[in-house]
Structure 1
Amino acid sequence: ALLDFAVQWAPYDGGDEHILPEFGLVPTDFYHRLRCLLDAQPKIDAGTRRRLKSLCTRKLGYPTVVQQKSTSPNRGR
């Protein structure tokens, strides 16, 4: 039910105002559980998993991970 709700409401920024009445959870707990569910469900397609994980990351206030090439100023000395 968590996953179905998240897929339905993700295009509308998650539907936070509906989470407590629907699941009895505050949004923070909902997004933590959703992240765990996404990691545990191998049958979720990659695009949906990526979109929902991104939503969870944003809602939980985690910093976005950006991978950059290492550019050390001392490189090649």
Structure 2
Amino acid sequence: MTAEDQEFIDFAIKWLPFGGGDEYILPQFGITPNTFYLRLHTLLQSRPTIGLGLAAKRKLVEACAVKLSQRSRRASELV
């Protein structure tokens, strides 16, 4: 796991109880929240996450799925 991977996970864990902290993603990582959640979801599914328990990993995967589905729904409403 890279240092950036760990930063993504740490950020997500910190902000999960507060709805994700979307407003802080762009300033901290220089990417949109949608890109952040896509990358985090991919990271959680494809790489071993040392030090992250299974329950915490499941919560993060679930949070990513919810965020991505909300964004997808909003985008389809705009069309």
**Could you state the TM-score of these two structures normalised by the residue count of structure 2?**
0.73
Structure 1: gaps (5+ residues): 63-77
Moved more, 49-58 or 33-42: 33-42
1:54 aligns with 2:53: no
Taking CA–CA contacts closer than 8 Å with sequence separation of 6 or more, which of the two structures ends up with the larger relative contact order?
Answer: 2
Structure with the higher helix share, 1 or 2: 2
Q: Which amino acid aligns with 1:31?
A: Y
How many residue pairs get aligned? The number is 62
Q: Cα gap change, 1:42/1:18 in structure 2, threshold over 3 Å: closer, same or farther?
A: closer
- Cα deviation for residue 12 of structure 1 reads 0.4
Which structure 1 residue ranges, 4+ long, deviate > 6 Å from structure 2? none
How does 1:28-47 map onto structure 2 within 5 Å?
A: 28-39=34-45, 40-43=47-50, 44-47=52-55
Task: Measure the CA separation in 1 of the matches of 2:35 and 2:13.
Answer: 17
Higher-Rg member (1/2)? 1
Task: Measure the CA separation in 2 of the matches of 1:41 and 1:13.
Answer: 25
Task: Measure the CA separation in 1 of the matches of 2:13 and 2:48.
Answer: 14
Structure 2: gaps (5+ residues): 1-6, 71-79
